[in-house]
Amino acid sequence: MLKMFLTSVLNLFRKPATHLYPFEPYEPFEDYRGRIVWNEEKCTFCMRCEMVCPPGAIKIMIMEDDTKRWLWNPAQCIYCGECVRNCPFGALTQENQYSPPLDKSNKRDWSEIEREAERLKLLWRERLRKKSQAKKSS
Amino acid sequence: MASESKNKTREIQIKEKVYTTIPFGSQHVALPEPIKFIFDTENEIVKEIKFDIAYVHRGIEKALTTMFDFRKAPYVVGRVCGICSAAHTIPCAVVMERAIGIDREIPDRAKAIRMIALEINRLQSHFLINGHLAEVCGYENVFMHIWRDREMIMDLADMLFGNRVQYDVVCVGGVNRDIPKDKERVLLDKLNEIEKSVEFMEKIFTKDRTLVSRLKGLGVVSKEMALEYGIVGPMARASGVKTDCRVEDDWGLYKDLGFEMVTMEEGDSLARCLVRVRECYESIRIIREAIKSTEEGEISIKVTANPKYEAVCRNEAPRGELFYYVKGTGGIMPDRVRIRTPTLANIPILPEVMKDVSYNDIPPLLMSFDPCIACTGR
């Protein structure tokens, strides 16, 4: 009984076990697997990251004028870090910060992007085939 | 006069047998996971139970043979269940290695890190279910204490592997992140704290009058019954059946580190709970030994071939034997993948055990069997 009384009195002065989030900022651990950051200068668009990504959260678009775009969907990403480990040029890094929440400014129709990327890739392959045929004939 | 007649009518009501059918689920506010029960009761005693478990079927086995190549498979099966994520990724990686034929070349350090991931997974799962058990017994204070201590283990996983729930540390051919020296030190310090909270948990579940009188003698499974129904994991070990896949199918270093099995003879809900508590000590010991026995070094080997053999792996998940089967044909995706989860083996005995039990004893009895519905649905 005395022990119980002492514990409850001492508990009045103890810190709570939970994190008082909005008042105390929460810092993730040093090696937390957070958002993926892409370095455009180092990237050669080898498509390795797109190939190894388990959920298909990375898409590379090859436009009709042969410019390329790297797209990443933070909502589909499982943050496993496979793309970062497999990048041969070190163009991808993983920060320890959480990815930003989706809102109107950064939300995109990912299924539309996937379809568009597939279509553009087919066109690109067709162009490559024609080029190589032209080379052969010349 | 009036009170006497009231008492009489109450007596008549109690003597009469009232048969009620209580449907519970598949979606219910009190259920954490979707499972359907139909209880046929006579007054307050449960007479018959029916189950429906395939409410959340997601077709992961089919997806592994049609959508994802074998290198992505461990990341996919990690999402079968949130509580036992590491317990799924490890046998999946091991079975793929066996199907390729490289399982003997895996470095010791990788095996040790896999063991650490699995044991941390087991610790948090056992803390979770024991807290839940206290909660359904109506002992919310213990629930909060145990879950507060569980947070320590989750933070430990976050520090080591980079995420609280999905460790994603295992890949085909080894593991993909090492544990550096400074983190090893933090891990060993934290293990001492966790050991203290396991001691607290053991004290509560052996000495506290409320919990012991509620759980003792509830849902007794004899050794013969356990063998007949083929139940697995801590539930079988609580009935005195010596079965543990860490010994039977050793993909790691368990035999080298001298693994000791925890068994009890009683077979009731309290014994099932205490087996889990005592396994926590064993898990802590194994993590310590695994860190001591290996040095930093090579953690993975290069995988160049595709799975071409038929292979099987049995792993001891927190809830019992987890079975993986793969049939490779030399292609990038296997021809067939089969996952048999521990809860599927433990469900057939439930109607037998729950018969002639009071309706208010059903929640603690069910929780002592530790059902994982997400695993079972897949």
Q: What are B111-144's pLDDT values in tens digits? A: 899 999 999 999 999 999 898 888 888 888 888 8
The pair phi, psi for residue A131, each rounded to 5°, is -60, -50
The predicted structure's pLDDT at residue B11: 62
Cα atoms in the Cβ-side hemisphere of radius 13 Å centred on A88:
6
Residue B195 lies in a domain: yes
Domain coverage including residue B298: 64-373
Residue B319 lies in a domain: yes
Residue B342 lies in a domain: yes
Low-confidence ranges of chain B (pLDDT < 50): none
Chain B contact present for A117, CB below 8 A: no
Q: Which candidate from A17, A29, A79 shows the least CB-CB separation from B148?
A: A17
Residue B107 lies in a domain: yes
Give A91's contacts (C-beta < 8 A, 6+ positions apart): A38, A39, A40, A41, A42, A43, A44
The predicted structure's pLDDT at residue B3: 58
The predicted structure's pLDDT at residue B325: 93
From the CA atom positions of chain A, what is the Rg in Å?
A: 24
The candidate with the shortest Cα–Cα distance to B196, out of B229, B232, B148, is B148
The whole-angstrom separation of Cα A37 and Cα B302 is 26
Q: What is the pTM of this model?
A: 0.87
A45: region left, alpha or beta (phi > 0 left; psi from -120 to 50 alpha): left
Q: Do B168 and A81 touch (CB under 8 A)?
A: yes
Asked if residue B318 lies in contact with residue B346, where contact means CB atoms within 8 angstroms, the answer is no
Give me the interface pTM, i.e. the ipTM: 0.83
What's B224's domain CATH number?
1.10.645.10
Q: What are A53-84's pLDDT values in tens digits? A: 998 888 888 888 878 888 888 888 888 888 99
Domain count, chain B: 1
Residue B313 lies in a domain: yes
The whole-angstrom separation of Cα B320 and Cα B234 is 6
Q: Could you give the domains of chain A?
A: 32-99+110-120 (3.30.70.3270)
The whole-angstrom separation of Cα B298 and Cα B108 is 8
Residue B378 lies in a domain: no
Distance of CA B48 to the CA centre of its chain: 26
Residue B133 lies in a domain: yes
Q: pLDDT averaged over chain A?
A: 86
Residue B343 lies in a domain: yes
Chain A contact present for B76, CB below 8 A: yes
Cβ-based contacts of B151 with chain A (< 8 Å): 17
With CA atoms as reference, the chain A residue closest to B69 would be: A54
